[in-house]
Amino acid sequence: MIRAEKLTYDYERLDEEGNVESKKRAVDHVDLHIRPGKFIAILGHNGSGKSTLAKHINAILTPTEGTLWVDGMDTKEEDKLWDIRQDAGMVFQNPDNQIIGTIVEEDVGFGPENLGVPTDEIWRRVEESLDAVGMLKYRHHSPNKLSGGQKQRVAIAGVMAMHPRCIVLDEPTAMLDPVGRKSVIRTAQKLNREEGITIILITHYMEEVVEADHVFVMDEGKVVMQGNPKEIFSQVEALKKLRLDVPQATLLAYELQKRGLPLPDGILSIEELVDELCQLKSKM
């Protein structure tokens, strides 16, 4: 689905005459391989290059060096640009700054309109996508009256209406409250499971990552760790050094291990920890 080879990107700062004044490497020789239908999470602190990487998948940015392929299409090929953007949709952090329409359904229709989809088909897609994110009954509302979580789901519907195979969510929950956060993550999980859409979730909320199929951790533009959530979260100290965190259950398990309890590595949920502790107690 998505493949990157030695992907590198430099932000250039230009002086007044347009000469390159300084360069900052945001993504540094990243190799990625993401298979279709997976739920992928990318973790990293602010400024670790994860958003810059995400913008490459949608061809908003193109690599300074190296190559990125979306479904076999090289993002540097300009005549493939619209196909790539249709194929890999993108949801951004700020819910207010990505809704174009003043009515929910008109906003969802914006993408298909740009793709030149016939009118009847647009209506079908709008209805289908709003239904998929659970926002159908708000179709005639103004986005300004919705909560943050609802706005993000409208934004997801807007991408869904373009019939993508992959959706990149760039910190979609950073500005939301816990209720909104949960609703957005559940929506992403549902689309992944039921529609088979590849999800690439960029976040720094650890709880959102627990159910991902594969996690990449970024630091200074490089992928520094990858694996399934269990593998990643068993490295508590390493994550803390990367300005990250682990889920609360994992943190407690780690603390208890330090105090000498024989708990297994990579406990991710409260239920798991309760089970393990009860087993320990019964053996005592």
Partner 1 sequence: MSIKVENVNYTYAEGTAYEIHALKDINLEIPDGQFIGLIGHTGSGKSTLVQHLNGLVKATSGKIYFNGKNIYGEKYSMKELRSQVGLVFQYPEHQLFEINVLSDVCFGPRNLGCSQEEAEKKAREALRMVGMGEEYEKRSPFELSGGQKRRVAIAGVLAMDPQVLILDEPTAGLDPKGRDEILDQIELLQKERGITVVLVSHSMEDVARYVDRIIVMNHGEVRFDGAPGEVFRHYRELEEIGLAAPQMTYLMQGLKDRGADIDTDVTTIEEAADAVMHWLKSE
Partner 2 sequence: MIRDITLGQYYPAKSTIHQLDPRVKLVTTVVFIISLFIAKGILGYAIATVFLAMVIRMSKVPFGYMTKGLKAILMILMLTVIFNLFLIDGDIVLWRFGFLRITDKGLRTAVFMAIRLIYLILGSSIMTLTTTPNDLTDGLEKLLGPLKKLHVPVHEIAMMMSIALRFIPILLEETDKIMKAQIARGADFETGNLIQKAKAMVPLLVPLFISAFRRANDLAMAMEARCYHGGDGRTKMKPLHYEHRDRVAYVVVWGYFLVMAVSAWAVSFYGIMML
Which one of residues 10, 170, 219, 245 is an interface residue with partner 1 (CB under 8 A)?
Answer: 245
264 DSSP 8-state letter: P
Which one of residues 37, 67, 92, 265 is an interface residue with partner 2 (CB under 8 A)?
Answer: 92
* Edge-to-edge strands, sheet with 2-14: 20-34, 2-14, 65-70, 73-74
Which residue's entry shows tokens 């700062």? Answer: 13
Contact status: 122 vs partner 2 (CB under 8 A)? yes
Contact status: 148 vs partner 1 (CB under 8 A)? yes
CA distance 162 to 87: 8
Contact status: 155 vs partner 1 (CB under 8 A)? no
Q: What is the 3-state secondary structure (H, E, C) of 126-149?
A: HHHHHHHCCCHHHCCCCHHHCCHH
Contact status: 100 vs partner 2 (CB under 8 A)? yes
Contact status: 110 vs partner 2 (CB under 8 A)? yes
Which one of residues 25, 45, 222, 230 is an interface residue with partner 1 (CB under 8 A)?
Answer: 45
Which one of residues 174, 189, 195, 227 is an interface residue with partner 1 (CB under 8 A)?
Answer: 174
Query: Hey, what are 236's tokens?
Result: 């508590």
Which residue's entry shows tokens 């269990």? Answer: 230
Which residue's entry shows tokens 């991902």? Answer: 212
Residue type, 124: R
Q: Quick one: 148 exposed, middle or buried, by C-beta within 10 A (0-12, 13-18, 19+)?
A: buried
x/- site string to partner 2, residues 32 to 71, per CB under 8 A? -----------------------x--x-x-----------
Contact status: 252 vs partner 1 (CB under 8 A)? yes
Task: Report the DSSP pairing between strands 214-219 and 39-43.
Answer: parallel
Other CB atoms closer than 10 Å to residue 225's CB: what's the count? 17
Contact status: 177 vs partner 1 (CB under 8 A)? yes
Binding piece for partner 1, criterion CB under 8 A, among 18-26, 98-106, 129-137, 243-251: 243-251
Which one of residues 37, 71, 103, 175 is an interface residue with partner 2 (CB under 8 A)?
Answer: 103
Contact status: 277 vs partner 1 (CB under 8 A)? yes
DSSP assignments along 21-82, one per residue: EEEEEEEEEEEEEE-TT-EEEEE--TTSSHHHHHHHHTTSS--SEEEEEETTEETT-GGGHH
Residue 134 binding result from partner 2, partner 1, none, given CB thresholds of 5 to 8 Å by partner type: none
Four-residue CA torsion sign, 133, 46, 248, 176: negative
Contact status: 225 vs partner 1 (CB under 8 A)? no
Residue type, 252: L
Contact status: 140 vs partner 2 (CB under 8 A)? yes
Residues that bind partner 2 in the complex, under the rule CB under 8 A: 55, 58, 60, 82, 85-86, 89-90, 92, 94, 96-103, 105-106, 109-119, 122-123, 126, 140-142, 144, 158-159, 162
Residues that bind partner 1 in the complex, under the rule CB under 8 A: 44-47, 93, 147-148, 174-175, 177-180, 204, 206, 240, 243-245, 247-249, 251-252, 255-256, 259, 261, 270-271, 273-274, 277-278, 280-281, 284
